[in-house]
Amino acid sequence: MTTRRRFIEILPIAGSAAWLSACSKETPAPGPAPTPAPSPSPAPVSATPMPAAATPSPPAAAAGPLTMVDEKDPAAQSLGYVSDAKRSDAARFKNYASGQACNNCQLYGGGTAASGPCPLFAGRAVASSGWCSAYVKKTG
């Protein structure tokens, strides 16, 4: 039988750590790991709508008619562009032939319009009746 004196004698040696741990509520219980606490609910969504992201505006060329190519433009002069094929410099550009015009050139993008884009003059328009030395007969 353990006396009170004996209990007091052994308590500091063997029992203090066990005693304290037995009384502690921080000791993990055996068994499966505790499940984590549920995460807090997401922040409430603001009732104020967010402003829409800026959308890129279309190119200026798409907003209106293209600027016509000026015959005095250095690129136009080097290609011999004229707004009326009948005024083409046949002496300078031997490849010119009567009947050639932008509206029957492969590069003309204006369809049946009086003027339209040409990739040689990006962002500008040429006259359907025009001509330049880069003329390529439209096929098909």
Q: Which residues bind ligand SF4 (CB under 6 A)?
A: 81, 102, 105, 107-108, 118, 120, 126, 130-132, 134-135
For ligand SF4, the closer of residues 107 and 113 by Cβ is: 107
The answer to whether the CB of 117 falls within 8 A of the CB of 125 is yes
Q: Least distance from C-beta 118 to ligand SF4, angstroms? A: 3
Q: Least distance from C-beta 98 to ligand SF4, angstroms? A: 14
Q: Least distance from C-beta 71 to ligand SF4, angstroms? A: 11
Q: Least distance from C-beta 130 to ligand SF4, angstroms? A: 5
**47-66 burial, b if ≥16 CB within 10 A, otherwise e?**
eeeeeeeeeeeeeeeeeeeb
For ligand SF4, the closer of residues 31 and 111 by Cβ is: 111
For ligand SF4, the closer of residues 20 and 90 by Cβ is: 90
Is residue 137 classed as helix, strand or coil in its secondary structure? strand
For ligand SF4, the closer of residues 6 and 87 by Cβ is: 87
**2-39 burial, b if ≥16 CB within 10 A, otherwise e?**
eeeeeeeeeeeeeeeeeeeeeeeeeeeeeeeeeeeeee
